[in-house]
Amino acid sequence: MTDLPTPDTDQPHDLIGIGIGPFNLSLAALAHGVPTDRPLAAAFYEQRPAFHWHPGLLIDGASLQVPFLADLVTLADPASPWTFLNYLRSRDRLFPFYFAERFHIQRAEYDAYCRWVTDQLPGLHFSHQVDAVRWNNQRELFEIDFTQLDGEGEAEALGRAHTRNIALGIGTEPYVPEFFKPLTEAENVPVIHSADYLLHRQEILEAPHITVIGSGQSGAEIFLDLLRARPQGHENLHWLARTQAFAPMEYSKLGLEHFTPDYSRYFHALPEAVRDELVPHQWQLHKGIDADTIAAIHDELYRRTLHGGWPDTTLTPGVSVRTAGRVANTRIELHLEHSQQNARSRLTTDAVVLATGYRERSLDRILTGLDPYMRRDASERPRIDDRFRLVLDPTVTGNVYVQNAERHTHGVGAPDLGLAAWRSATILNDLTGTNPYPLPERTAFTTFGLTPQGPRVPAQGPDLIPLARNN
């Protein structure tokens, strides 16, 4: 293993992004187009060898739950060269898309669009694992240590970069309940998280009996895909959910206004205790199932009754899995509890798909070197201000921006693709101290609260990077 040269020692970056998912890719695309006297010196590092967006869930026909306008840049800069429509134009597909009349595109197409951007956008460094972040008081810069990986994912070289600002976009990770982890790690026991569904789909389909756990969109899409692939009358499928119903996602026009900048500002201004109480009650805004998927499941089940009889499927909401274990080497026994009946039961199955969602990755590991400077809330979570900056000690003159790690401060819109371009533009407006991406003052017909929170307009200034201290 060798040490990489550090050509940026005397020329530090203006911005380094850690992680290249859709949110930091949005930031990279908009940063590339910042209209300034000199280009913004930005680099983005990603541990994976290439961009892939939830590859295990790119089920044939599965669609995004947001319109195509929620691409990387359009809602901040529709004239950007990185729009989804420009992607279609580059592929000579504008007219087919026009006649298809699709407002919601397929997930696989969104993934292909993002990979098209990564193939052309400069400053993206894949196979680069960020190991540590520190603040250098003498130079007033962040130091970032990274490892360059080879094609096998092994360490190949070490390097260090310096930057005035950081954008964390390390994303989320699959959540597996503790009692399921020994099963997911065991050989010959097909218990997988939905994130890996397509990788193991054939193995799951070969199981005599399959159980899907989870009532969100992923669980519904996987159940539908399995149902369509199983022989009529011999489906042998169970679908279990903790929620009291297989509930539709809130998709009314005014309900969707919870995913606007107006609501994000309102939520951020609420007291911490109110925010913490509010988020769990808003699950149907982002954890329900879209109406088309529910209808498709019902249509498929109904079709299987046309010649008499019922499909061999069991769909049971209101059930939690208390624990799980192996039976007869390869089978799985689930211990169930029904909350309303106050009843317990057991279910033996041959394969389990855990559609149990995702959790924000902890920032603590990667920010260990900044821990002495970080300000935390009553629950020991990082405090994040209204411009998506970690609240740090005033001696740190650089900024650390976060993407999709701020649900506790900004609400249910944090992981929503529809707010990606707006958040990226907000970050760049703050970072440059100018207003390269003018943002709307109002975005919702709903007035949230009696004292609406207006947008913060950055101060105008002649310098590209006026390093404002954290509040």
Helix (H) or strand (E) holding 91: none
Helix (H) or strand (E) holding 24: helix 22-32
Question: What integer pLDDT is reported at residue 119 of this predicted model?
Answer: 97
**Tens digits of pLDDT across the chain (471 residues):** 666 655 444 589 999 999 999 999 999 999 998 876 678 999 999 999 999 999 999 999 999 999 999 999 999 999 999 999 999 999 999 999 999 999 999 999 999 999 999 999 999 999 999 999 999 999 999 999 999 999 888 999 999 999 999 999 998 999 999 999 999 998 888 999 999 999 999 999 999 999 999 999 999 999 999 999 999 999 999 999 999 999 999 889 999 999 999 999 999 999 999 999 999 999 888 888 999 999 999 999 999 999 899 999 999 999 999 999 999 888 999 999 998 999 999 999 999 999 999 999 988 889 999 999 999 999 999 999 999 999 999 999 999 999 999 999 999 999 999 999 999 999 999 999 989 999 999 999 999 999 866 665 554 443 444 444 444
| CATH number listed for the domain at residues 175-249+287-357 | 3.50.50.60
Helix (H) or strand (E) holding 174: strand 172-174
**CA gap 424, 329 in Å, rounded:** 50
What tokens does 56 get? 């295990």
For CATH 3.50.50.60, the residue range(s) in the chain are 2-171+361-432, 175-249+287-357
Task: Identify any residues that bridge with 2 across adjacent strands, giving them in sequence order.
Answer: 157
Place of tokens 């993002």: 114
Question: What integer pLDDT is reported at residue 470 of this predicted model?
Answer: 44
Question: What integer pLDDT is reported at residue 4 of this predicted model?
Answer: 60
CATH number, domain 2-171+361-432, options 3.30.565.10, 3.40.640.10, 3.20.20.10, 3.50.50.60: 3.50.50.60
Question: What integer pLDDT is reported at residue 452 of this predicted model?
Answer: 62
C-alpha dihedral sign at 408, 169, 446, 283 = negative
Model-wide pTM > 0.85: yes
CA distances to 166, 172, 406 from 380, in Å: 21, 19, 13
Question: What integer pLDDT is reported at residue 60 of this predicted model?
Answer: 93
Torsion angle of C-alpha atoms 18, 21, 22, 26, degrees rounded to 10: 30
Task: Identify any residues that bridge with 331 across adjacent strands, giving them in sequence order.
Answer: 327
**CA gap 136, 116 in Å, rounded:** 36
CA distances to 353, 400, 425 from 422, in Å: 35, 17, 5
